[in-house]
Amino acid sequence: MQSNFSEVFTAKLEQNLLRVGIVGLGYVGIPLMLRFHELGFSLVGIDSDEERVSHLSAGKSPIRHIAERDVEALSNASTVKITSDFSAVEDVDAIIFCVPTPLSLQHEPDMSFVRSAAEKVRPHLRAGQLLALESTVYPGATEEVFLGMLQDRGFTVGQDIFLAYSPEREDPGNALYSAHNTPKVCGGHTHTCGKLACLMYSKVTHKVVPVSSMKAAELTKLLENIHRSVNIGLVNEMKVIADRMHIDIHEVIKAAATKPFGFTAFYPGPGLGGHCIPIDPFYLTWKAREFGVHTRFIELAGQINSSMPEYVISKIIGGLNGHGKAVSQSNVMVLGLSYKKNIDDVRESPAIPIIEKLKDLGANVCFSDSYVTDMHGHYLPDGIENVECTDETVSNQDCVVVVTDHDYFDYPSIAKSARLIIDTRGRYARANPKVVSA
Protein backbone atom coordinates (compact mmCIF):
# COMPACT_ATOMS: atom_id res chain seq x y z
CA MET A 1 0.00 0.00 0.00
CA GLN A 2 2.93 2.33 0.65
CA SER A 3 3.93 2.58 -2.99
CA ASN A 4 0.30 2.86 -4.09
CA PHE A 5 -0.53 5.90 -1.97
CA SER A 6 2.79 7.61 -2.64
CA GLU A 7 2.53 6.89 -6.36
CA VAL A 8 -1.01 8.29 -6.51
CA PHE A 9 0.14 11.44 -4.69
CA THR A 10 3.11 11.82 -7.04
CA ALA A 11 0.97 11.26 -10.13
CA LYS A 12 -1.55 13.91 -9.04
CA LEU A 13 1.29 16.33 -8.42
CA GLU A 14 2.86 15.70 -11.83
CA GLN A 15 -0.50 16.11 -13.58
CA ASN A 16 -1.27 19.28 -11.62
CA LEU A 17 -4.31 17.57 -10.09
CA LEU A 18 -3.17 17.79 -6.47
CA ARG A 19 -5.59 19.71 -4.26
CA VAL A 20 -3.98 21.62 -1.40
CA GLY A 21 -5.56 22.76 1.84
CA ILE A 22 -3.98 25.56 3.89
CA VAL A 23 -5.02 25.89 7.53
CA GLY A 24 -4.38 29.35 8.93
CA LEU A 25 -4.83 32.34 6.62
CA GLY A 26 -2.49 34.95 8.02
CA TYR A 27 0.95 36.37 7.25
CA VAL A 28 2.20 32.94 6.13
CA GLY A 29 -0.91 31.18 4.89
CA ILE A 30 -2.17 33.86 2.50
CA PRO A 31 1.12 34.33 0.57
CA LEU A 32 1.48 30.55 0.33
CA MET A 33 -2.06 30.24 -0.96
CA LEU A 34 -1.40 32.97 -3.54
CA ARG A 35 1.69 31.09 -4.74
CA PHE A 36 -0.16 27.78 -5.13
CA HIS A 37 -2.96 29.59 -6.96
CA GLU A 38 -0.46 31.23 -9.29
CA LEU A 39 0.75 27.74 -10.21
CA GLY A 40 -2.76 26.51 -10.99
CA PHE A 41 -3.44 24.31 -7.95
CA SER A 42 -6.95 23.73 -6.64
CA LEU A 43 -7.07 25.12 -3.12
CA VAL A 44 -9.02 25.13 0.11
CA GLY A 45 -8.14 27.86 2.61
CA ILE A 46 -9.37 27.30 6.16
CA ASP A 47 -9.36 29.69 9.11
CA SER A 48 -11.34 29.57 12.35
CA ASP A 49 -11.70 33.38 12.31
CA GLU A 50 -15.08 33.95 10.67
CA GLU A 51 -14.38 37.64 10.09
CA ARG A 52 -11.13 36.89 8.29
CA VAL A 53 -12.84 34.26 6.14
CA SER A 54 -15.56 36.78 5.28
CA HIS A 55 -13.02 39.43 4.29
CA LEU A 56 -10.98 37.06 2.15
CA SER A 57 -14.09 35.64 0.50
CA ALA A 58 -15.06 39.18 -0.42
CA GLY A 59 -11.65 39.78 -1.96
CA LYS A 60 -10.44 42.06 0.83
CA SER A 61 -6.85 41.78 2.01
CA PRO A 62 -6.55 41.75 5.83
CA ILE A 63 -2.82 42.50 5.57
CA ARG A 64 -1.53 45.79 4.19
CA HIS A 65 1.47 44.52 2.23
CA ILE A 66 -0.58 41.80 0.48
CA ALA A 67 -2.20 43.42 -2.56
CA GLU A 68 -5.99 43.49 -2.61
CA ARG A 69 -6.01 42.69 -6.32
CA ASP A 70 -4.25 39.39 -5.58
CA VAL A 71 -6.72 38.46 -2.85
CA GLU A 72 -9.61 39.44 -5.11
CA ALA A 73 -8.29 37.16 -7.85
CA LEU A 74 -8.03 34.38 -5.29
CA SER A 75 -11.59 34.84 -4.04
CA ASN A 76 -13.01 34.95 -7.56
CA ALA A 77 -11.29 31.76 -8.71
CA SER A 78 -13.50 28.71 -9.22
CA THR A 79 -10.62 26.49 -8.08
CA VAL A 80 -10.39 28.15 -4.66
CA LYS A 81 -12.57 27.67 -1.61
CA ILE A 82 -12.19 29.81 1.53
CA THR A 83 -14.03 28.53 4.59
CA SER A 84 -14.10 28.10 8.35
CA ASP A 85 -15.40 24.54 7.97
CA PHE A 86 -12.57 22.12 8.74
CA SER A 87 -14.44 19.22 7.15
CA ALA A 88 -13.30 20.69 3.83
CA VAL A 89 -9.96 18.92 4.31
CA GLU A 90 -11.69 15.69 3.29
CA ASP A 91 -11.37 16.86 -0.32
CA VAL A 92 -7.67 17.78 -0.34
CA ASP A 93 -4.55 15.72 -0.89
CA ALA A 94 -2.18 17.88 1.17
CA ILE A 95 -2.88 19.86 4.34
CA ILE A 96 -0.41 22.61 5.23
CA PHE A 97 -0.67 24.12 8.72
CA CYS A 98 0.31 27.80 9.04
CA VAL A 99 -1.04 28.68 12.48
CA PRO A 100 0.48 30.90 15.21
CA THR A 101 2.91 29.54 17.78
CA PRO A 102 3.23 32.32 20.40
CA LEU A 103 4.67 32.21 23.90
CA SER A 104 2.70 31.85 27.11
CA LEU A 105 2.91 34.47 29.85
CA GLN A 106 5.62 32.27 31.39
CA HIS A 107 7.64 32.44 28.14
CA GLU A 108 6.95 28.82 27.34
CA PRO A 109 5.82 27.52 23.93
CA ASP A 110 2.10 27.90 23.35
CA MET A 111 1.18 25.02 21.04
CA SER A 112 -2.55 25.47 21.52
CA PHE A 113 -3.18 26.76 17.98
CA VAL A 114 -1.34 23.81 16.42
CA ARG A 115 -3.10 21.29 18.67
CA SER A 116 -6.49 22.89 18.03
CA ALA A 117 -5.97 22.82 14.26
CA ALA A 118 -4.83 19.21 14.42
CA GLU A 119 -7.89 18.18 16.44
CA LYS A 120 -10.24 20.00 14.06
CA VAL A 121 -8.90 18.20 10.98
CA ARG A 122 -8.54 14.85 12.77
CA PRO A 123 -12.05 13.47 12.08
CA HIS A 124 -11.80 14.39 8.40
CA LEU A 125 -8.49 12.81 7.48
CA ARG A 126 -8.29 10.06 4.89
CA ALA A 127 -5.65 7.74 3.55
CA GLY A 128 -3.21 9.13 1.01
CA GLN A 129 -2.98 12.64 2.45
CA LEU A 130 0.18 14.57 3.28
CA LEU A 131 0.21 16.75 6.43
CA ALA A 132 2.90 19.44 6.61
CA LEU A 133 3.46 21.86 9.49
CA GLU A 134 5.09 25.23 8.73
CA SER A 135 4.66 26.96 12.11
CA THR A 136 7.82 27.53 14.17
CA VAL A 137 8.09 24.87 16.88
CA TYR A 138 10.68 23.17 19.08
CA PRO A 139 12.45 20.00 17.85
CA GLY A 140 10.10 17.05 18.20
CA ALA A 141 6.90 19.09 18.33
CA THR A 142 5.48 17.97 14.98
CA GLU A 143 5.84 14.35 16.02
CA GLU A 144 4.36 15.04 19.48
CA VAL A 145 1.25 16.73 18.09
CA PHE A 146 0.50 14.71 14.98
CA LEU A 147 1.99 11.23 15.20
CA GLY A 148 -0.18 9.82 17.99
CA MET A 149 -3.28 11.42 16.51
CA LEU A 150 -2.66 9.76 13.15
CA GLN A 151 -1.87 6.38 14.71
CA ASP A 152 -5.06 6.57 16.81
CA ARG A 153 -6.99 6.97 13.59
CA GLY A 154 -5.47 3.70 12.39
CA PHE A 155 -3.01 5.21 9.90
CA THR A 156 0.54 4.04 9.42
CA VAL A 157 2.60 7.16 8.87
CA GLY A 158 4.82 6.76 5.84
CA GLN A 159 2.57 4.15 4.25
CA ASP A 160 -1.05 5.29 4.06
CA ILE A 161 -0.62 8.86 5.33
CA PHE A 162 2.39 11.18 5.30
CA LEU A 163 3.79 13.71 7.77
CA ALA A 164 6.42 16.41 7.26
CA TYR A 165 7.77 19.64 8.65
CA SER A 166 8.81 22.55 6.40
CA PRO A 167 9.35 25.83 8.24
CA GLU A 168 7.95 29.03 6.79
CA ARG A 169 10.47 31.63 5.66
CA GLU A 170 8.08 34.47 5.02
CA ASP A 171 9.59 37.96 5.33
CA PRO A 172 6.73 40.49 5.21
CA GLY A 173 7.44 43.45 2.98
CA ASN A 174 10.53 41.92 1.37
CA ALA A 175 10.39 42.86 -2.31
CA LEU A 176 13.28 40.60 -3.31
CA TYR A 177 12.34 37.27 -1.74
CA SER A 178 8.97 35.54 -1.58
CA ALA A 179 7.65 31.98 -1.82
CA HIS A 180 8.86 31.44 -5.40
CA ASN A 181 12.56 32.15 -4.83
CA THR A 182 13.16 31.39 -1.15
CA PRO A 183 14.65 27.90 -0.65
CA LYS A 184 12.42 25.57 1.37
CA VAL A 185 13.84 23.27 4.05
CA CYS A 186 11.89 20.05 4.39
CA GLY A 187 12.06 16.98 6.61
CA GLY A 188 9.70 14.00 6.82
CA HIS A 189 8.80 11.45 9.49
CA THR A 190 9.97 8.77 7.07
CA HIS A 191 11.97 8.87 3.86
CA THR A 192 8.76 8.62 1.82
CA CYS A 193 7.12 11.41 3.83
CA GLY A 194 10.08 13.69 3.19
CA LYS A 195 10.26 12.76 -0.48
CA LEU A 196 6.59 13.59 -1.12
CA ALA A 197 6.78 16.88 0.80
CA CYS A 198 9.91 17.88 -1.13
CA LEU A 199 8.20 17.06 -4.41
CA MET A 200 5.21 19.22 -3.50
CA TYR A 201 7.29 22.18 -2.36
CA SER A 202 9.52 21.91 -5.43
CA LYS A 203 6.51 23.08 -7.39
CA VAL A 204 6.30 26.20 -5.23
CA THR A 205 9.91 27.36 -5.00
CA HIS A 206 13.03 27.13 -7.12
CA LYS A 207 14.97 25.13 -4.52
CA VAL A 208 14.07 22.59 -1.84
CA VAL A 209 16.59 21.63 0.82
CA PRO A 210 15.86 18.13 2.18
CA VAL A 211 17.07 17.26 5.66
CA SER A 212 17.16 13.90 7.40
CA SER A 213 14.24 14.38 9.80
CA MET A 214 11.48 16.66 10.99
CA LYS A 215 13.56 17.45 14.09
CA ALA A 216 16.43 18.64 11.91
CA ALA A 217 14.04 20.89 9.97
CA GLU A 218 12.53 22.22 13.19
CA LEU A 219 15.95 23.07 14.61
CA THR A 220 16.99 24.66 11.31
CA LYS A 221 14.20 27.21 11.64
CA LEU A 222 15.19 28.01 15.21
CA LEU A 223 18.85 28.39 14.27
CA GLU A 224 17.98 30.85 11.50
CA ASN A 225 16.10 33.13 13.86
CA ILE A 226 18.40 32.68 16.85
CA HIS A 227 21.32 33.62 14.58
CA ARG A 228 19.59 36.93 13.90
CA SER A 229 18.61 37.45 17.52
CA VAL A 230 22.14 36.88 18.80
CA ASN A 231 23.75 39.12 16.20
CA ILE A 232 21.20 41.87 16.72
CA GLY A 233 21.83 41.58 20.45
CA LEU A 234 25.55 41.99 19.78
CA VAL A 235 25.12 45.06 17.61
CA ASN A 236 22.64 46.58 20.07
CA GLU A 237 25.24 46.22 22.81
CA MET A 238 27.85 47.71 20.48
CA LYS A 239 25.51 50.64 19.88
CA VAL A 240 25.39 51.41 23.60
CA ILE A 241 29.18 51.18 23.85
CA ALA A 242 29.69 53.35 20.76
CA ASP A 243 27.25 55.93 22.09
CA ARG A 244 29.19 56.22 25.36
CA MET A 245 32.35 56.74 23.31
CA HIS A 246 30.65 59.31 21.05
CA ILE A 247 31.16 57.10 18.00
CA ASP A 248 28.55 56.66 15.25
CA ILE A 249 27.74 52.93 15.26
CA HIS A 250 26.22 53.15 11.78
CA GLU A 251 29.46 54.56 10.41
CA VAL A 252 31.31 51.67 12.06
CA ILE A 253 28.95 49.04 10.63
CA LYS A 254 29.21 50.57 7.16
CA ALA A 255 33.00 50.47 7.35
CA ALA A 256 33.10 46.91 8.73
CA ALA A 257 30.77 45.72 5.96
CA THR A 258 33.41 46.55 3.37
CA LYS A 259 35.32 43.45 4.50
CA PRO A 260 34.53 40.87 1.80
CA PHE A 261 34.71 37.87 4.14
CA GLY A 262 33.93 36.94 7.73
CA PHE A 263 31.52 39.79 8.50
CA THR A 264 27.76 40.12 8.05
CA ALA A 265 26.16 43.48 8.76
CA PHE A 266 23.43 43.62 11.37
CA TYR A 267 21.85 46.87 12.47
CA PRO A 268 20.78 48.12 15.90
CA GLY A 269 17.31 49.30 16.75
CA PRO A 270 14.83 50.01 19.54
CA GLY A 271 14.24 46.33 20.25
CA LEU A 272 13.03 43.24 18.45
CA GLY A 273 9.57 42.78 16.99
CA GLY A 274 7.54 40.41 14.86
CA HIS A 275 6.41 36.86 15.45
CA CYS A 276 9.79 35.18 14.98
CA ILE A 277 12.91 36.81 16.39
CA PRO A 278 11.61 37.82 19.86
CA ILE A 279 9.80 34.49 20.34
CA ASP A 280 11.53 31.61 18.57
CA PRO A 281 14.69 31.51 20.76
CA PHE A 282 12.50 30.69 23.77
CA TYR A 283 11.18 27.59 21.99
CA LEU A 284 14.70 26.21 21.98
CA THR A 285 15.71 27.39 25.46
CA TRP A 286 12.56 25.71 26.85
CA LYS A 287 13.23 22.44 25.04
CA ALA A 288 16.95 22.49 25.85
CA ARG A 289 16.19 22.33 29.58
CA GLU A 290 14.72 18.87 29.00
CA PHE A 291 18.21 17.79 27.96
CA GLY A 292 19.96 19.53 30.83
CA VAL A 293 21.31 22.37 28.70
CA HIS A 294 21.17 26.00 29.84
CA THR A 295 21.26 28.25 26.76
CA ARG A 296 23.14 31.15 28.34
CA PHE A 297 24.29 32.78 25.10
CA ILE A 298 20.82 32.78 23.53
CA GLU A 299 19.16 34.07 26.68
CA LEU A 300 21.71 36.85 27.11
CA ALA A 301 21.00 38.10 23.59
CA GLY A 302 17.29 38.04 24.44
CA GLN A 303 17.90 40.09 27.57
CA ILE A 304 19.90 42.71 25.66
CA ASN A 305 17.27 43.00 22.94
CA SER A 306 14.44 43.16 25.48
CA SER A 307 16.21 46.01 27.30
CA MET A 308 16.41 48.28 24.26
CA PRO A 309 13.02 50.00 24.71
CA GLU A 310 14.18 51.12 28.19
CA TYR A 311 17.40 52.39 26.62
CA VAL A 312 15.35 54.43 24.15
CA ILE A 313 13.29 55.85 27.02
CA SER A 314 16.49 56.93 28.80
CA LYS A 315 17.63 58.73 25.65
CA ILE A 316 14.24 60.47 25.35
CA ILE A 317 14.41 61.62 28.97
CA GLY A 318 18.01 62.82 28.51
CA GLY A 319 17.20 64.60 25.27
CA LEU A 320 14.23 66.42 26.77
CA ASN A 321 16.27 67.37 29.84
CA GLY A 322 18.85 68.87 27.52
CA HIS A 323 16.09 71.08 26.13
CA GLY A 324 14.95 72.09 29.61
CA LYS A 325 11.88 69.84 29.48
CA ALA A 326 10.70 67.08 31.77
CA VAL A 327 9.17 64.04 30.09
CA SER A 328 6.08 64.61 32.23
CA GLN A 329 3.65 66.73 30.22
CA SER A 330 5.96 66.81 27.19
CA ASN A 331 4.40 66.21 23.78
CA VAL A 332 6.03 63.17 22.18
CA MET A 333 5.31 61.69 18.77
CA VAL A 334 6.45 58.16 17.98
CA LEU A 335 7.10 57.64 14.28
CA GLY A 336 6.16 54.12 13.25
CA LEU A 337 4.18 51.54 15.22
CA SER A 338 4.74 48.35 13.21
CA TYR A 339 7.73 46.18 14.12
CA LYS A 340 9.54 46.77 10.79
CA LYS A 341 9.29 49.36 8.08
CA ASN A 342 6.78 49.38 5.25
CA ILE A 343 4.39 46.80 6.74
CA ASP A 344 1.39 46.91 9.09
CA ASP A 345 2.37 44.10 11.50
CA VAL A 346 2.51 45.29 15.14
CA ARG A 347 3.22 41.92 16.76
CA GLU A 348 5.83 42.33 19.52
CA SER A 349 6.66 45.81 18.19
CA PRO A 350 9.07 47.71 20.47
CA ALA A 351 7.05 50.85 19.73
CA ILE A 352 4.27 49.57 21.99
CA PRO A 353 6.29 49.31 25.26
CA ILE A 354 7.98 52.63 24.42
CA ILE A 355 4.58 54.29 24.12
CA GLU A 356 3.32 52.60 27.27
CA LYS A 357 6.34 53.75 29.29
CA LEU A 358 6.09 57.32 27.99
CA LYS A 359 2.44 57.36 28.96
CA ASP A 360 3.30 56.04 32.44
CA LEU A 361 5.86 58.85 32.80
CA GLY A 362 3.17 61.44 32.13
CA ALA A 363 4.00 62.38 28.54
CA ASN A 364 1.32 63.36 26.04
CA VAL A 365 1.96 60.67 23.46
CA CYS A 366 0.76 60.12 19.92
CA PHE A 367 2.10 58.04 17.06
CA SER A 368 2.12 58.30 13.30
CA ASP A 369 1.88 55.23 11.10
CA SER A 370 -0.25 55.19 7.97
CA TYR A 371 0.35 51.46 7.54
CA VAL A 372 -1.35 50.56 10.81
CA THR A 373 -5.12 50.82 10.46
CA ASP A 374 -5.91 47.70 12.51
CA MET A 375 -4.15 46.62 15.70
CA HIS A 376 -5.15 42.97 15.08
CA GLY A 377 -5.90 42.32 18.75
CA HIS A 378 -3.00 44.32 20.18
CA TYR A 379 -3.65 47.29 22.42
CA LEU A 380 -2.28 50.71 23.28
CA PRO A 381 -3.10 52.79 26.37
CA ASP A 382 -6.32 54.80 26.18
CA GLY A 383 -6.07 58.14 24.44
CA ILE A 384 -3.14 57.29 22.15
CA GLU A 385 -4.00 58.56 18.69
CA ASN A 386 -2.59 57.86 15.24
CA VAL A 387 -1.92 61.28 13.71
CA GLU A 388 -0.70 62.30 10.29
CA CYS A 389 2.96 63.26 10.15
CA THR A 390 2.89 66.84 8.85
CA ASP A 391 5.05 69.93 9.42
CA GLU A 392 2.37 71.21 11.78
CA THR A 393 1.96 68.05 13.88
CA VAL A 394 5.74 67.62 14.12
CA SER A 395 6.32 71.24 15.13
CA ASN A 396 3.80 70.82 17.94
CA GLN A 397 5.90 68.11 19.56
CA ASP A 398 8.64 68.56 22.13
CA CYS A 399 10.20 65.36 20.84
CA VAL A 400 9.84 63.07 17.82
CA VAL A 401 11.06 59.47 18.18
CA VAL A 402 11.95 57.51 15.03
CA VAL A 403 11.07 53.95 16.07
CA THR A 404 10.05 52.38 12.76
CA ASP A 405 11.62 54.12 9.77
CA HIS A 406 8.95 53.73 7.09
CA ASP A 407 10.21 54.95 3.72
CA TYR A 408 7.23 57.24 3.23
CA PHE A 409 8.27 59.56 6.07
CA ASP A 410 9.76 62.83 4.77
CA TYR A 411 12.87 62.83 6.95
CA PRO A 412 14.33 66.16 5.74
CA SER A 413 11.00 67.93 6.43
CA ILE A 414 10.75 66.26 9.83
CA ALA A 415 14.25 67.52 10.66
CA LYS A 416 13.28 71.07 9.73
CA SER A 417 10.06 71.07 11.79
CA ALA A 418 11.13 69.06 14.84
CA ARG A 419 12.59 70.55 18.01
CA LEU A 420 14.22 67.29 19.08
CA ILE A 421 14.59 63.94 17.29
CA ILE A 422 15.42 60.67 19.03
CA ASP A 423 16.71 58.47 16.22
CA THR A 424 16.73 54.70 16.89
CA ARG A 425 17.34 53.71 13.25
CA GLY A 426 20.28 55.80 12.07
CA ARG A 427 18.22 57.91 9.70
CA TYR A 428 20.00 61.11 10.69
CA ALA A 429 23.63 62.12 11.01
CA ARG A 430 24.88 62.40 14.57
CA ALA A 431 26.23 65.86 13.77
CA ASN A 432 22.69 67.25 13.48
CA PRO A 433 22.21 69.30 16.69
CA LYS A 434 18.51 68.37 16.84
CA VAL A 435 19.25 64.62 16.82
CA VAL A 436 19.97 62.26 19.70
CA SER A 437 21.01 58.80 18.53
CA ALA A 438 19.35 55.96 20.41
SS3 state of residue 23? strand
d(CA 275, CA 279): 6
DSSP conformation class of 78: T
Q: Are strands 364-368 and 385-386 parallel, antiparallel or unpaired?
A: parallel
Residue 341 backbone dihedrals phi, psi, to 5 degrees: -70, 150
276 as an active site residue: the answer is: yes
Q: For 289, left (φ over 0), alpha (ψ -120 to 50), or beta?
A: alpha
d(CA 300, CA 215): 25
Contact at 8 Å (CB) between 167 and 217?
Answer: yes
d(CA 216, CA 139): 7
d(CA 217, CA 235): 28
Largest CA distance in the chain: 79
Q: What is the DSSP string of 358-407?
A: HHHTT-EEEEE-TT-S--TT----TT-EE----HHHHHT-SEEEESS--T
Residue 330 backbone dihedrals phi, psi, to 5 degrees: -75, 150
**Rounded alpha-carbon distances, angstroms, from residue 202 to 162, 197, 205, 317:** 17, 8, 5, 53
Q: Give the strands of the sheet with 208-210, arranged side by side.
A: 80-83, 42-46, 19-23, 94-97, 130-133, 162-165, 184-188, 208-210
Among residues 28, 272, 64, 281, the alpha carbon closest in space to that of 170 is found at 28
- Classify residue 49 as exposed, middle or buried by CB count within 10 Å of its CB (0-12, 13-18, 19+): middle
Among residues 173, 180, 124, 168, the alpha carbon closest in space to that of 149 is found at 124
Contact at 8 Å (CB) between 18 and 41?
Answer: yes
- The active-site residue out of 98, 186, 198, 276 is 276
H helices, E strands: number in the chain: 15, 14
d(CA 126, CA 21): 13
Residue 25 backbone dihedrals phi, psi, to 5 degrees: -110, 75
d(CA 82, CA 52): 10
Which residues participate in catalysis according to the annotation? 276
